[in-house]
Amino acid sequence: MSFRQQYVIGDLQGCYAAYLQLLEILDFDPTQDKLWFAGDLVARGEDSLNTLRHVKALCEQGAAATVLGNHDINLLAVWRGVTKIKKKDKTAPIFAADDCDELLDWLRHQPILAYPDEHTVLVHAGIPPHWSIEEAANYAQQLESQLRGSLKQLDKLLPHLYNKTADDWHAGINGFTKMRAIANYFTRMRLCKQDGSLEFSFAAGLDESMPKDFLPWFEWHAPRSRKILFGHWAALKGEIDLPYARALDGGCVWGNHLLAYRLSDGKAITSSAHCLLPSS
């Protein structure tokens, strides 16, 4: 199917009012247009429940697609009793809803990596410099298979996806350690070394001092066959637009705006509305 327009939208974080307003600005028509979401559909905004319901409905119509972010995986972990709701997250209404299981079973079947068009690839946080796009797609499929398995399999996986320190990637990495490393690259990465070593403490903008030998993953200038579209890093405010990488998280939940990237011409369109309950 050909679409009138396709837009890739950064982290919604449950900012439902700003999201609906952005759709009005885009003159979005689900019968003619398609939306792609960079993950983190839920968490700190004012209405994660209705945001999740709306995105799910559009995806089931074929008018949208999403990849998974770290907050989405965390939501699954809360659902399965692996962890508790974080203090800043406003996701409790999801677990009180009659359609909770339906929503979260749908969520766990969403991809880690997607291809919005022939020139781009979409992930939540990024792709490390030591992976090609093709290798990244293969690793994404391995994690997706685990997330989409039986609930028994999911319950075994989820506790292993959390660790305060990053795992080193090496040729012999396997099992749950490998799955955690894959999830960390796709959903938590900001800074890395050229060999892919990660650190999780830095979340500031590019003008701040960074740990020695670490750079933003997209500054290692690895050759890419597609432009990487990513969210996650709110401090960038969606202002990074390179030939091989485009930031999409406008930081709406932090008092800024939602951002939509129009695939046809690369134009960035933002909401004028902020999140109704910005985090502090």
How does pLDDT run across 39-69, given as a tens digit for each residue? 999 999 999 999 999 999 999 999 999 999 9
Q: How confident is the model at residue 279 (pLDDT cuts 50, 70, 90)?
A: very low
Q: What domains are there in the chain, each with its CATH number?
A: 6-270 (3.60.21.10)
Residue 22 has pLDDT above 90, yes or no: yes
Residue 280 has pLDDT above 50, yes or no: no
Let me know: does 108 contact 78? Beta carbons within 8 Å.
Answer: no
Place of tokens 């997209």: 218
**Range 8-36 average pLDDT:** 97
Mean pLDDT of the chain: 94
- CA–CA gap between residue 275 and residue 47 (Å, rounded): 10
Place of tokens 């396709």: 6
Q: What is the DSSP string of 201-229?
A: S--S-TTS---TT-EEGGGG----SSEEE
- Cβ-based neighbours of 152, under 8 Å, separated by 6 or more: none
**Range 183-206 average pLDDT:** 94
Closest C-alpha to 97, from 155, 53, 146: 53
Q: Are strands 259-262 and 6-9 parallel, antiparallel or unpaired?
A: antiparallel
Residue 277: predicted pLDDT = 66
Q: How confident is the model at residue 71 (pLDDT cuts 50, 70, 90)?
A: very high
82-129: per-residue pLDDT in tens?
999 999 999 999 999 999 999 999 999 999 999 999 999 999 999 999
210-260: per-residue pLDDT in tens?
999 999 999 998 788 899 999 999 999 999 999 999 999 999 988 899 999
Residue 18: predicted pLDDT = 95
- CA–CA gap between residue 253 and residue 43 (Å, rounded): 9
